[in-house]
Amino acid sequence: KYMKSDTKWRRNMKTDYITSGSTLPPYLAYPRFLLEADMAQAAKLVYMVLLDRATLSQANGWTDESGNIFVVFPLNKLADLVDKGPTTVKTALTELEAAGLIERRRCGNGMPNRIYVKQPDSQEIDRLMDRKLATRQPESWPSDSRKTGRQIKVYPKSRTN
């Protein structure tokens, strides 16, 4: 078993192009409003994992007396999953709580804490997305050319009769 940060793992990974018939591997959804969020990348990653775990809690009916979905996720397991140290994850959780994206509630001695994952209301998400779209510049050449400053010449497919 290779560690995520192990270069041998990356060298030995087999890849292939995605086609119209490809089955995608399991993945985490990255909420678009996070692109505009002024927070650390670790906090964004932790939020993404917690949001994914909240869908599992939702499917399993993990709700409190008010009907709110909660997540139970021990700090060390969350740190292992995101490949960060416990201190970094604690800082990320504090940042997410300060931003109003999660709420942590203690449940007493010996009981795991509950994490309530929140989301911005739809108007706030729309406002963030409108601002992002309004500032986007139209592309005049393929985006990978922007890095090198060279324009890629695209040739039409040749016809064979």
Which bin fits 82, alpha (ψ -120 to 50), beta or left (φ > 0)?
alpha
Residue of 99, 90, 104, 91 whose CA lies nearest to 119: 99
Give the whole-angstrom CA distance, residue 23 versus residue 13: 17
CA distance 49 to 45: 6
Q: Is the pTM of this model over 0.75?
A: no
Taking the C-alpha atoms of residue 144 and residue 87, their distance in angstroms, rounded to an integer, is: 36
Taking only the tens place, the pLDDT of each residue in 12-50 is 678 888 899 999 888 888 888 888 888 899 999 999 999
